[in-house]
């Protein structure tokens, strides 16, 4: 039954994020160290483990990467006229409408929806989204930023190394591969828990613009994904991953960077929080479309 399957996918996400939310409300933990560990150790371990343990076929995953580029950059282009007409600052609104929560929500969602077979494609779109966020996204916020720093990001390095090992045909000895895999498996529940903690500190003072962006982000993302999937000949879980990627809400990283670059962080926080809350509607609806066709 489709409804039950959607519930089986959504419930673990809600349960772990909900525990993080309740813990965050009660104890208000500082998650900076945990998030840094996740971004510098656990997520890179997941990326390397998943990509290096498979025969990474560019013919298979190249179109997925290109589709992710189209969805991210296309979302910004579609949003540009709306943002200009609204009178809001482009630097404030464009990044949250472009860069989605492909980590905290996307990776667990892809894994639960498509199993281990869908995880490499989920990691590909996650890497593309992060690469663009640390280059195009930061350039939008600060034209003088050093964009070459993206190649020092542990996640990007892990992605290159994982693909290189896969292409080489060398398989890591289980003694080495197992601890890397175990470290990687820490990342997904920690992402969800951290998202819950972040939501527990919600500030919805800018709820009107936040609600508009919360609806606009998945609508433009899904529209672009559904347009590009048939053009690239994507089928099965690869098509499903791209369409789910389009439906994801704005990334928490948008808020972190808006604070760093002093670009209306309160307004961006409202967009991110309401976007992730609206995902309770947009993600089940997208799953209801995707699962019968690509699941």
250 strand-pairing partners: 100
> To which H or E segment does residue 125 belong?
helix 119-132
Q: How many CA within 13 A on the CB side of residue 198? A: 26
CATH number, domain at 115? 1.20.1530.20
- The answer as to whether 52 is a domain residue is yes
Specify the pLDDT at position 206. 64
Pull the structure tokens for residue 25. Answer: 């409300």
- The answer as to whether 3 is a domain residue is no
- The answer as to whether 159 is a domain residue is yes
Per the structure, how many domains does the chain have? 1
- The answer as to whether 26 is a domain residue is no
- The answer as to whether 199 is a domain residue is no
Where in the sequence is the domain holding 178, given as residue range(s)?
31-187+206-294
What is the pLDDT averaged over residues 84-91?
Answer: 79
> To which H or E segment does residue 48 belong?
helix 43-52
Residue 8: CB atoms within 10 Å? 11
φ, ψ of residue 250 to 5 degrees: the values are -60, 145
- The answer as to whether 24 is a domain residue is no
Regarding pTM above 0.85, the answer is yes
- The answer as to whether 108 is a domain residue is yes
Specify the pLDDT at position 202. 66
For 161-170, 213-222, 258-267, 280-289, which range has the lowest pLDDT when averaged over its residues? 258-267
- The answer as to whether 114 is a domain residue is yes
Pull the structure tokens for residue 82. Answer: 């709306």
Confidence bin at 194 (pLDDT 50/70/90): confident
**How far is it, in rounded angstroms, from Cα 227 to Cα 145?**
33
Indicate if the pLDDT at residue 199 is higher than 90: no
């Amino acid at each position: 039954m489709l409804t039950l399957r959607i519930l089986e996918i959504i419930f673990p996400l809600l349960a772990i994020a909900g525990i993080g939310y309740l813990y965050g409300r009660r104890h208000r933990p500082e998650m900076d160290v945990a998030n840094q560990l996740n971004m510098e150790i656990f997520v890179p371990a997941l990326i390397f483990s998943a990509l290096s343990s498979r025969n990474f076929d560019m013919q298979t995953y190249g179109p997925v990467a290109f589709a992710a580029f189209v969805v991210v950059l296309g979302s910004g282009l579609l949003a540009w006229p709306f943002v200009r007409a609204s009178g809001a600052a482009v630097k404030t609104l464009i990044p949250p409408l472009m860069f989605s929560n492909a980590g905290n929500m996307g990776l667990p969602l892809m894994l639960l929806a498509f199993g281990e077979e869908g995880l490499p494609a989920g990691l590909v779109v996650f890497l593309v989204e992060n690469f663009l966020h640390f280059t195009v996204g930061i350039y939008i916020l600060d034209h003088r930023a050093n964009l070459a720093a993206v190649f020092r990001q542990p996640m990007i390095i892990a992605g290159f190394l994982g693909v290189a090992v896969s292409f080489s045909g060398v398989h890591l000895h289980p003694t080495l591969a197992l601890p890397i895999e175990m470290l990687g498996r820490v990342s997904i529940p920690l992402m969800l828990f951290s998202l819950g903690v972040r939501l527990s500190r919600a500030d919805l003072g800018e709820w009107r613009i936040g609600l508009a962006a919360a609806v606009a982000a998945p609508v433009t993302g899904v529209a672009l994904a559904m347009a590009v999937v048939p053009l690239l000949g994507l089928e099965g879980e690869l098509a499903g991953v791209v369409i789910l990627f389009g439906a994801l809400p704005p990334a928490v990283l948008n808020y972190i960077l808006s604070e760093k670059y002093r670009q209306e962080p309160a307004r961006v926080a409202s967009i991110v929080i309401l976007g992730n809350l609206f995902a309770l509607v947009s993600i089940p609806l997208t799953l209801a479309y995707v699962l019968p066709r690509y699941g």
